[in-house]
C-alpha cells in the first residue's frame, strides 16, 4: 500500500510541474487566461497584466512569441490596428 501511495504522490507532483511548464497563467482582473508556451520552461508562468501598458506586455519576448498580443485583442485591452502597428514597428527594428 505504501508503494502505491508514493507512486500516486509522484504522479500528482509530475502533473503539476508539467502544467506549470507548458502554460502561461495570465491574470486579467478576476480571471485567469491560459496561454500555451512555445518552449518547456518556467519563465513567466504566472503573470499579471494589472497596471501594465499593452506595449510593456508585448515587449516581453517570451509572451509575445506565445501569442499574448492576440489575447490582449480578445479581452479588449488592445485593438487589432494597434497590434498591427506594434508588429510593423517590431519588424522594422529587426530589419535594421
Residue 91 belongs to domain spanning: 2-95
Cell of 90: 517590431
Closest of 31, 38, 88 to residue 63, by C-alpha = 38
Give the mean pLDDT of 19-40: 93
Q: pLDDT for 66-94, tens place per residue?
A: 999 999 999 989 999 999 999 888 888 77
CA–CA dist 17, 20 (Å, integer): 5
Q: What is the pLDDT of residue 92?
A: 81
- Please name the helix (run of DSSP H) or strand (run of DSSP E) that holds residue 90, with its range, or none: helix 80-95
As for how many domains the chain has, the answer is 1
Cell of 26: 495570465
Taking each continuous run of H as one helix and of E as one strand, the counts in the chain are 5, 3
Q: What is the pLDDT of residue 7?
A: 95
pLDDT-derived band at 8, boundaries 50, 70, 90: very high
Using the predicted structure, report yes or no on whether residue 42 has a pLDDT greater than 70: yes
Cell of 2: 505504501
Q: What is the pLDDT of residue 96?
A: 67
Higher pLDDT, residue 14 or 89? 14
Q: What is the pLDDT of residue 94?
A: 75
Amino acid at each position: 500500500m505504501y508503494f502505491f501511495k508514493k507512486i500516486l504522490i509522484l504522479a500528482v507532483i509530475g502533473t503539476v510541474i508539467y502544467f506549470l511548464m507548458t502554460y502561461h497563467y495570465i491574470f486579467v482582473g478576476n480571471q485567469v487566461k491560459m496561454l500555451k508556451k512555445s518552449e518547456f520552461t518556467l519563465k513567466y508562468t504566472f503573470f499579471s497584466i494589472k497596471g501594465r501598458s499593452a506595449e510593456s506586455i508585448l515587449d516581453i519576448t517570451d509572451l509575445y512569441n506565445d501569442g499574448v498580443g492576440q489575447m490582449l485583442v480578445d479581452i479588449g485591452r488592445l485593438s487589432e490596428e494597434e497590434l498591427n502597428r506594434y508588429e510593423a514597428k517590431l519588424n522594422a527594428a529587426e530589419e535594421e
